[in-house]
A and B are shown apart, each in its own frame.
Chain A
């Protein structure tokens, strides 16, 4: 079947409707967004390395420049990298292979999704060309987003394009998982990654439209003069925050769930163990998260004013999230129990993920508690917390996924040495970056400030350390990504199942898989599981 794929044909790539190639297109797009958003992060860190203006042009307009960097960093990392990197790249490439299907249910819709995502990236990148750059964070809160001279329309359209892409992908994959599993494959025989995507996509299907509605109203308010978020004319600013977080809190789980799914696959394969407590992790963990994900968003509005009964109610539901997350973490950890663990690059990232889960999770608890939140809210403590649990954890998941399935995707082995070197730079770098921010956050360093010369002098030194950390991460990222590029060309040929996995994508397809995935239709029997290692 490899005869069909000999040679590179551009038309076969840009017009492709094959889920594997679409997955690779997602990966290329999301890594591009990641690179540019990463550069923005470096600019932010350099600016913060001294209390006053550092690299902005002057003290009066510097804030505007800085806001543009913040905008692009946030919007591109979440909408352009994490979501498409996980439910775009990983889900596209792996889901049909894991369930034994020859493609997704609607290949053309799938191609539409990936190009809508690319269009979103194009619109986001226009930021650097237009004179009135968007400067509304990734949240786009009114009234600022309505009154700013920045081009809020570009923000809105980026969200629209990527949101519509997500909704179509969710419909497509839900139908695929429900109806196209190989004959004989029951719900308790699914890969954890399939379950994690199933649950994440349900969240995506239900909540993304609300974000689309919210930013549409923003567009109307800004350009058509309507009054949805205008208190002077009967509107309500908090309405936007509610609509926004009604989506954007569950969006955290759209990222978290597939990231966990990836680590489950890696842990089970590298420890040669079945998933510990499979049903508890799936039904008590993932499915429970779907149930309560829509009832906690108001904790993002703790400082916006609300009645006490609501505040306390939100505190309880928010803390409740640690139950399913705890179940999933224990199951992940337990999968290693008495395993003969192979420590390669994906497993390095997996082990680091356990640590990130711990630190990120524990620092989330004080933020959920209303009493503490008043003190810690809007400080760099929050900033460090969500970078640990959401930014770094999920980024490591994407990296681990690429490293783990690289032999399948490229047919070549990765350079293990460079991968490990990249990992250490990444891991040490993020710790140097974010621990100082935890500390000065507790002492009162606000988030998002570029000029903090009014604050204690030692904040500057801590920020300097964080900036050094950011550059160490940058080196790690370059090592990691260049490793993929170099190994894809020069790497040694991969065996068909280098990790000895029992999952369908390794056992039943060619490496790399050709058109139609499986040489013969797959059926599984009642005893088969992807984790049948004993």
Chain B
């Protein structure tokens, strides 16, 4: 993030603004996600899939890095809009989760007394989700403390509490991995029955949000280690994390305990 401070500095720009970051991100997604998936799953061409992932991942990471660097050093078109935009984006996230939950409820309610369907383990681990809840809520608190430290301009404290939040988030993902691993071992896989369908889709989709949240934490941490922070970025990353936290309550109550 060297001297990319040109542009956005004058009230009236006199040259065309450019940024390579968005195109890099899109190319990265196209190769690392779309082409990789299609080659691996649809055509079962694992070699080509790995090559696509190999091309896409560096492009994606480079794009994100460049984007973050620009966001931290350049003046936005108008100050203070990011913290307004993120909640609007979260509205659409809510509707994605709604789509998933409605699908689950449909299957669940139309099954009537035949729930849980055959193939569901009788001894689903109901303690682990409670532990995971505690971990995730704790990480929301640690991040909140990190935000307070950041407001007090205590960079050391900010980094420490941010790091703790990342560790807690990683433990949460570890729990998911452990749980999946256990369930797959006892032959409870996504295709087993209607419950496994909903279970893996909803928890998996939530876990992917945890991954995105952790990724953005990591980005903020790397920037903070280089001595750069941005108030609205810190706020937004936190807000997203709290959202992921709130969704988890729905996941636990609906998927595990209902």
Contacts and interface: CB of A to CB of B under 8 A. Distances in A.
Given A170-B92, A206-B95, A516-B14, A227 B19 contact: no
B180 interface: no
Contacts of A235: 107, 194, 197
B19 A17 contact: yes
Give the interface SS of chain A, mostly helix, strand, loop or mixed.
helix
Contacts of B82: 106
Interface stretch (A4-12, A82-90, A408-416, A503-511): A4-12
Given A208-B92, A220-B190, A12 B38 contact: no
A153 B37 contact: yes
Contacts of B97: 213
Contact of B13 (A115, A206, A516): A516
A226 B200 CA distance: 9
Given A116-B26, A161-B34, A227-B194, A108 B12 contact: no
Nearest to B66: A108
Interface in A121-147: 122-123, 132
A374 interface: no
Nearest to A131: B43
B78 A180 contact: yes
A220 B197 contact: yes
Contact of B92 (A21, A153, A209, A224): A209
A205 B92 contact: yes
Nearest to A205: B92
Contacts of B93: 209
Interface string A164-184: 000110111011001110000
A373 interface: no
A102 interface: yes
Contact of B96 (A15, A154, A212): A212
Contacts of B184: none
Nearest to A516: B13
Interface residues of A, number: 75
B219 interface: no
A213 B100 contact: yes
A18 interface: yes
A8 B35 CA distance: 32
Interface string B23-43: 101110110001001100110
Interface string B78-104: 100110110011011111111110110
B77 A102 contact: yes
Contacts of B42: 132, 151, 153, 223
B111 A154 contact: no
A209 B99 contact: yes
A103 B18 contact: no
Given A112-B25, A236-B110, A210 B12 contact: no
Give the interface SS of chain B, mostly helix, strand, loop or mixed.
helix
Contacts of B41: 153, 223
A521 B18 CA distance: 22
A294 to B, nearest CB: 10
Interface string A487-525: 000000000000000000000000000111011110000
B117 A234 contact: yes
A225 B191 contact: yes
A479 interface: no
Contacts of B84: 175, 178-179
B147 interface: no
Contacts of B77: 101-107, 180
In this complex, which of B78, B92, B196 has the most chain A Cβ atoms within 10 angstroms of its Cβ? B92
A171 B89 contact: yes
A467 B97 CA distance: 44
A170 B107 CA distance: 32
A221 to B, nearest CB: 8
A157 B34 contact: yes
B12 A102 contact: yes
Contact of A111 (B22, B78, B91, B107): B22
Contact of A519 (B12, B22, B89): B12
B39 to A, nearest CB: 10
Contact of B91 (A154, A180, A205, A226): A205
B29 A207 contact: no
Contacts of A105: 76-78, 81, 85
In this complex, which of A104, A116, A226, A518 has the most chain B Cβ atoms within 10 angstroms of its Cβ? A226
A224 B190 contact: yes
B29 A119 contact: yes
Interface residues of B, number: 64
Contacts of A111: 19, 22-23
B57 interface: no
In this complex, which of B26, B41, B98 has the most chain A Cβ atoms within 10 angstroms of its Cβ? B26
Interface in B94-136: 94-100, 102-103, 106-107, 110-111, 114, 117
A430 to B, nearest CB: 35
A528 interface: no
Contact of B107 (A12, A118, A228): A228
Contacts of A301: none
A418 interface: no
A190 to B, nearest CB: 18
B75 to A, nearest CB: 12
A217 interface: yes
A475 interface: no
Contacts of A372: none
B95 A4 contact: no
A233 interface: yes
B245 interface: no
B11 interface: yes
Interface string B192-210: 0110111011000100000
Contacts of A207: 95
10 nearest A-B pairs in the assembled complex, by CB-CB distance: A213-B99, A225-B191, A234-B194, A111-B22, A115-B26, A226-B197, A15-B18, A209-B95, A112-B22, A516-B13
Given A108-B67, A233-B194, 19 more contacts: A5-B16, A101-B77, A103-B77, A105-B76, A105-B85, A106-B76, A106-B77, A108-B19, A111-B22, A167-B92, A180-B78, A208-B92, A209-B93, A213-B100, A224-B191, A226-B191, A228-B198, A228-B201, A234-B193
11 contacts: A17-B22, A18-B17, A106-B82, A119-B26, A154-B38, A157-B34, A171-B88, A174-B88, A209-B95, A213-B97, A216-B205
Interface of A: 1, 4-5, 11-12, 14-18, 21, 101-109, 111-112, 115-116, 118-119, 122-123, 132, 151, 153-154, 157, 161, 167-168, 170-172, 174-175, 178-180, 205-210, 212-214, 216-217, 220, 223-228, 233-236, 239, 243, 514-516, 518-521
Interface of B: 11-23, 25-27, 29-30, 34, 37-38, 41-42, 67, 70-71, 76-78, 81-82, 84-85, 88-89, 91-100, 102-103, 106-107, 110-111, 114, 117, 189-191, 193-194, 196-198, 200-201, 205
